Chain A
Amino acid sequence: MDELGNKPDFWMRLDNAAKIYPAVKDRELTAVFRVSVELKTPIQIKPFLDAVHDLEERFPYYKVKLKAGFFWYYLEPHDLPIAVEPDKETPCRSFEREELMFRVLARERTISVEFSHILTDGTGALEFLKTLLLGYLGKRGVIVPAGLLSLKPDEPPSKEEYEDAYNRYFKKIDAPPPKITRAFHVPFRLKPTPRFEVLTAIIPIADVIQQAKLHKVSLTEYLTAVYLYALQGLYDQLSKLRKGTSGKMLRIEIPVNLRRIFPTRTMRNFSLYVMPGIDLRLGHYSFEEIIKIVYHQMQLETDPKLIGKMISRNVSGEKNPFIRRVPLLLKSLILSRLYTQGTGQYSGVVTNLGRIDLDTEVNSHIQRFSFIPPPPNKILKINCGAVGFDGKLVVTFGNITQSKELERQFFTFLTSQGIPVKIINHS
């Protein structure tokens, strides 16, 4: 505070990954994703609201609103209480201009948080949800081990939590983007608006891991291979004419949490992606072939040096003296064009938030976690998210088309491998 009692003029630049979203987001393509936790007992509203209240000052980098500057968008503090809403509407709705860009939702036994990708990625949202969940359980008398909370509600946020870690790990190298051919995209017709629909399935983790181990791959690699196999099935169903006009490359974008490679405590976006894929011009692939390709491509592309190169490539765009001085309006047009081009390069997205394990006592109060990826755009049309907890893997497909054929092929393959799949009603 200054002598006039004014708050310091705090503002933040958008991080490198967030910069594209203001240019492309709209009512359908919201760039909002959801992380939920279902408890074993109904939510008690008083301790729940108290737990939310305790976080009001803890995440100042989320209590911001998007403002348009002359050259770039930026984030400015927005002094509204955290929005707590009943979970009754379509998931991943867009945020109004005067709202915060995240919300907390509750319904029966489920607590959810929805974040705009402008603020953070899945890891940031999951940390927020964990802090809220542990605060709530603590207020309900559950003994929460002190070491379990990486972010304590009563501690001020550290500077590192605010940081744009892409900038921190940026090294200036000359790495022009490679030319990537157009990928295959599911041929289904779009639903009328509101388009976004979610299909969630619960799968025993042990069964998936057993299958993954048989092929000596990780769970993410296994799911990616199944996704590619299902996409290949869709391609095979196409007429000759459609096959001729559609892309022949099947690529899956897999977000990688960069915090595991480049240490940082940032709570903002810090993820990139790798894109394993197969080339259908070379013929039909067996599942074993696909899984082998996915494994080797993943091993290669997650190399820290290659990831570092990707960071440098992305950040150098934002640091280009010419691009920096292009007015925002023009820049937004360029960015939305780049986004469309970028999406054209892959056929699907598989986001795996990983396996969540809190503490035996805390775990005993939780039924499951789930993750709903942001609504896919009109090119991609379908995407997939997964999160594991306590022996259960929750796989969620976001879909804006009139068809569930991809999901059917995906889950049918799993069941054919002896993995039981239980579809649950999202609402």
Chain B
Amino acid sequence: MRCNNCGVELEDDMQICPLCKTPVSDALTVPASSMPGADIHSLLTPERMTHPQKKFTWEIVSLILLCSAITTLLVNFIINKSITWSEYPVEICCIIFCYISLFAFSDQSRFVKMMLGLILSSFCIVILDAITTGIQWSIVFGIPLLVISNVVTGGLIFAYRKARYKGINLIAYTFLGAALLCLFIEGLLSVYQHHVLRFNWSIIVAACVLPVVIVLLFVHFRLKRGRSLEKTFHV
């Protein structure tokens, strides 16, 4: 038996050419990655969640968000006899819900999903702002903060995916992302409230986080698989 595509001879029991993944019979539609000897790309691509797995995860997270929102509202109502502060945690739950729904069910690229999430979340906070105080903070503070959070999160996702070895380097990246976010939050707040760019507490946060990040990255790259620095710095 011969492969029509690359011309090599196959064993009688082979249904797919292990070289070019061409099915011997047209009726066969076994995905190439499920065959032994799958190509290099399948080895390099991380496993993705299947659709049922995504749906199940979405259901669990949605349920947790719903419970949290109801509990927060109830606690606020019982203590203050009205809704005073709980709309903000509920809003956060709504934003998270928007994102996980998009990531669970949309087939778009990760970037498009992030952009759609940003639009939906922006809409949510504008609505909340309009209901509570009239449109005030959402445009000048809320949406820029959302944009920056998306950029930092996107950067972190990119760094996680690109990291060849996933260890404490990911913790370091997260710390770094959090420190950046703090700087942006304080910067935005100071511009929003005082109309000047001023950093106080976020600088201290960043200064504290930076040595931790350096230590974590050093430990990761220095001690990973017992490697020495000689090969990097050999002359």
Seen from chain A, the residues whose Cβ lies within 8 Å of a Cβ on chain B are: 2, 4, 6-9, 11, 13, 41-46, 48-49, 67, 69-72, 74, 76, 80-81, 83-88, 98-99, 106-109, 324-325
Contact = CB atoms under 8 A, between A and B. Distances in A.
Contacts, number: 91
5 contacts: A6-B226, A9-B227, A86-B5, A106-B19, A108-B7
Contacts of A42: 2, 7-9
Nearest to B17: A45
Contacts of A86: 5-6, 8, 17, 19-20
Query: For the complex, would chain B's binding face be called helix, strand, loop or mixed by DSSP majority?
Result: loop
B225 A9 contact: yes
Contacts of A106: 6, 8, 19
Contact of A69 (B6, B18, B232): B232
Contacts of A2: 226
Contacts of A67: 231-232
A146 B108 CA distance: 58
Interface in B4-52: 5-11, 14, 17-20, 37, 39-40, 43-44
Nearest to B44: A98
A80 B43 contact: yes
B36 to A, nearest CB: 9
Contacts of B235: 71-72, 324-325
B228 interface: yes
Interface in B163-204: none
A46 B40 contact: no
Interface of B: 2-3, 5-11, 14, 17-20, 37, 39-40, 43-44, 225-228, 231-235
Nearest to B228: A9
Contact of A71 (B17, B43, B234): B234
B11 A9 contact: no
B227 A45 contact: no
Given A83-B40, A86-B19, A99-B40, A43 B8 contact: yes
Contacts of B234: 13, 69, 71-72, 74
A34 to B, nearest CB: 16
A146 to B, nearest CB: 27
A69 B221 CA distance: 13
Q: Most A CB atoms within 10 A — which of B14, B19, B233?
A: B19
B11 to A, nearest CB: 5
Contacts of B226: 2, 4, 6-9
Contacts of A44: 8-9, 11
The 10 closest A-B pairs by CB, nearest first: A108-B7, A86-B6, A86-B20, A11-B231, A324-B235, A6-B226, A9-B227, A43-B8, A86-B19, A44-B9
Nearest to A77: B225
B37 A69 contact: no
Contacts of B3: 45
A303 to B, nearest CB: 33
A102 to B, nearest CB: 12
Contacts of B233: 69-71
Nearest to B3: A45
B4 to A, nearest CB: 11
B19 A84 contact: yes
B7 A70 contact: no
B232 A108 contact: no
Given A4-B226, A8-B226, A45 B8 contact: yes
A49 B16 CA distance: 14
Contacts of B8: 42-45, 48, 86, 106-108
B9 to A, nearest CB: 5
Contacts of A80: 40, 43
A45 B44 contact: no
B63 to A, nearest CB: 39
